[in-house]
Amino acid sequence: MTVIFSPRGRMLAALGIAAMALTIQGCATSGAPPLGAAEAGMGLGAYRLGPGDRLRVTVYNEPSLSGEYAVSSAGAIAFPLVGNIDAQARTVEDVAQALTTRIADGYMTDPRVSVEVLNYRPYYILGEVQRPGQYPYVAGMTIEQAVAAAGGFSYRANARRVNLRRTPDPAEKSVEIAGRQVVVVMPGDTIRVLERYF
């Protein structure tokens, strides 16, 4: 049986095929769950320390104890007199309180300690970008800016959606970057730019 399409019928068939292709492309995701709005806009106020962060610790009136300390791969800082202080997944306020408690336990009376982050750990960008790799963290950077720092998308990249893994969560989340939602990069994030299907 031979089916002959009129010019109008051929045009409608072509539009139908194009619509199906767009629908398939829109449905083709990495399988990762979407990033929540709270996670997308989280700022450094919620920041938890981890390996690679560098801290400045100030013990008032004790210049020999004050200085710069790196968070080790084990998630701790080695501090004079008191030994290792756990910093993994803790805020700077938590670490300052832990140091104050340990220093007050037999070393000083009423110590005053402040902790600030000097250098945040880097973020990583993988997949379909021009220069994948490790990059220094810049406060307030968005995913689009991180892609730009890596030389932009490759010609095969899906420029609408990326996968994001945010420590300490081991699971990747799907992030739409072509919409209105602005997603801020956090220190230690791993951004994976996916390949487009069409």
pLDDT digits (tens, 9 = 90+) for 145-176: 999 999 999 999 999 999 999 977 889 999 99
Q: Within 13 Å of residue 97, how many CA atoms lie on the same side as its CB?
A: 5
Residues 6+ apart with CB under 8 A from 193: 125, 126, 127, 128, 129, 147, 153, 154, 157, 158, 162
* pLDDT given at position 50: 92
* pLDDT given at position 20: 42
User: In the chain, pLDDT over 70 holds for what percent of residues?
Assistant: 76
Peptide bond into 51 cis (omega under 30): no
* pLDDT given at position 170: 83
pLDDT digits (tens, 9 = 90+) for 15-35: 444 444 433 344 344 466 665
Out of 3.30.1950.10, 3.40.50.1220, 3.30.310.80, 3.40.50.720, which CATH number does the structure's domain 51-119 have?
Answer: 3.30.1950.10
* pLDDT given at position 152: 95
Out of 3.30.310.10, 1.10.760.10, 3.30.1330.30, 3.10.560.10, which CATH number does the structure's domain 122-195 have?
Answer: 3.10.560.10
* pLDDT given at position 118: 94
Domain boundaries, the chain: 51-119, 122-195
Give the type of residue at 155: Y
Residue 123 or residue 181, greater confidence: 123
Q: What is the DSSP letter of 31?
A: S
* pLDDT given at position 104: 93
Which two structure tokens, joined as six digits, stand for 128? Answer: 């379909």
- Tell me the C-alpha distance between 92 and 97, whole Å: 9
